[in-house]
Amino acid sequence: MTETYIVTGGAGFIGSHIAEHLLRRGNHVRIVDNFATGKRENLAGLADYAASGALELHEVSITDKDALDRIFAGADYVFHQAALPSVPRSVADPLTSNEIGVTGTLNVLLAARDAGVKRVAYAASSSAYGDVEGEYKTEDMVPNPQSPYAVAKLAGEYYCKTFTKVYGLETVALRYFNVFGPRQDETSQYSAVIPRFVAAMSQGKPPTIYGDGTQSRDFTYIDNVVHGNLLAITAPDAAGEMMNLATGGRISLLDLVGKINTLLGTDITPVFAEPRKGDIKHSRAGTDKARDLLDFAPIVDFDTGLARTVEWFLKR
C-alpha cells in the first residue's frame, strides 16, 4: 500500500536521503523545508517523482504551525529532521537554535498528533551526552549537554517521549553520531568535519584540526542512518523510546586524515588550531539498544562509506 510520509528538513543532507529512499519504495513524500541550510540540488535527482506528484515540496518553516497542520493532514508517518545542526552556530545564536530545535519540534509533534499520524521518528543527537565519562555512550547515562544546540536537541527528545506518554502519539528518538556521506554540505564554517576535510584535501589543501587530532568520533555512514530510521518507524516495541543510531566504532581525526590521504593518493599534513567551544573529546556509541529494539546493525562499514563519500566529492 502506498503510504504518505512527511520529511521535515527533507532538502538537507540526511532528510534528502530518507526522502529518496521512501520514494524509491513507491511511497508519497511531502518535504517541509525552508532551505535555511538545505539545497535544491539535494533534490535534483528526485525531479521525476515531483513531476508525477509522488513528491511534494513545501517551502515552509516548522515554526509555522498552521502550515504544518495543512501539510500533515492525511499523512501516515513523520521523519523529523529539520534543525540548524551546528554546535558553533548555536553558540553564536542560541535563540534561533532554540526557536527551530525546541519550538519547531513542538510544532511538528502537535501537528503530527492533530493529524493522527502513526509514528514520528526524531533526529536526536549524540551531543546530548556531552562529556559524560565512559568510552561508550549508552542511553542510561545522564545527559550533560555542552552547547545550546545539544540542549535544544535534548529538549526535542523529551518532548517526543512526553507526547507518547501524554497524548499517545508514537515517537522514536534516534541519537545520530556524526553522520557523513554524499550531499553533506562542506561550504560553511559550520560544516561537519568529513565534508570539510574531503573538500579541502581533494583540492590539495591542508584540513584544519581544532585541537590535537586525537579526538575521536563514531562516524556513521548515511545509509546506516536511513536504514535505522526505516526500522524505527515500524519496530513494535520502540514507541516512546530514545536510542543511539551509530556503528559503535571510533576514528580519530588524525586517522581520518590518513584514510582520506590514502583514498586520494596524497600525503597532506593537517594544520592545527585551538579547540572550539562546545566540542567534546570522544564520542562512541553503545549500540545494544538499537540492536534489541530495532534489530539494527550497520549495513555499510566506515571505510566503504568514506570511499563512497570521497568518490562523490571527486565526481561532482
Q: Report, as residue numbers or ranges, the catalytic residues.
A: 149
By CB under 6 A, tell whether 178 contacts ligand NAD: yes
By CB under 6 A, tell whether 245 contacts ligand NAD: no
The rounded distance, in Å, linking the Cα atoms of 218 and 301 is: 11
We find the least distance from the C-beta atom of residue 287 to ligand NAD, in angstroms, to be 15
Q: Which of 4, 34, 97, 146 binds ligand NAD (CB under 6 A)?
A: 34
Q: Which of 104, 145, 181, 248 binds ligand NAD (CB under 6 A)?
A: 104
The rounded distance, in Å, linking the Cα atoms of 194 and 196 is: 5
**Residue labelled with grid coordinates 566529492:** 313
Nearer to ligand NAD by C-beta: 56 or 268? 56
By CB under 6 A, tell whether 280 contacts ligand NAD: no
Q: Which of 72, 159, 176, 313 binds ligand NAD (CB under 6 A)?
A: 176
By CB under 6 A, tell whether 11 contacts ligand NAD: yes
Cα-Cα-Cα-Cα dihedral sign, residues 265, 271, 277, 279: positive
Count of residues touching ligand NAD (by CB under 6 A): 32
We find the least distance from the C-beta atom of residue 269 to ligand NAD, in angstroms, to be 26
By CB under 6 A, tell whether 257 contacts ligand NAD: no
Nearer to ligand NAD by C-beta: 68 or 235? 68
The rounded distance, in Å, linking the Cα atoms of 108 and 285 is: 27
The candidate with the shortest Cα–Cα distance to 126, out of 106, 98, 146, is 146
By CB under 6 A, tell whether 14 contacts ligand NAD: yes
Site for ligand NAD in 116-145 (CB under 6 A): 123, 125
Nearer to ligand NAD by C-beta: 179 or 235? 179
Nearer to ligand NAD by C-beta: 20 or 185? 185
| Alpha-helical runs (H) found in 42-147 | 47-52, 65-72, 87-92, 94-98, 105-115
By CB under 6 A, tell whether 262 contacts ligand NAD: no
Q: Which of 7, 84, 102, 109 binds ligand NAD (CB under 6 A)?
A: 84
Ordered DSSP codes for 257-300: HHHHHHHHT--PPPEEEPPPTT--SEE-B--HHHHHHH----SS
By CB under 6 A, tell whether 9 contacts ligand NAD: yes
**Of 75-83, 111-119, 198-206, 250-258: span binding ligand NAD (CB under 6 A):** 75-83
User: 17-26 contacts: CB < 8 A, separation 24 or more?
Assistant: 17/181, 17/183, 17/222, 17/223, 17/225, 17/226, 18/79, 18/81, 18/226, 18/229, 19/43, 19/46, 19/55, 20/45, 20/46, 21/226, 21/230, 23/49, 23/54, 23/55, 26/2
Nearer to ligand NAD by C-beta: 268 or 308? 308
List of residues contacting ligand NAD (CB under 6 A): 8-9, 11-15, 32-38, 61-63, 81-85, 100, 104, 123, 125, 153, 176, 178-179, 185, 192
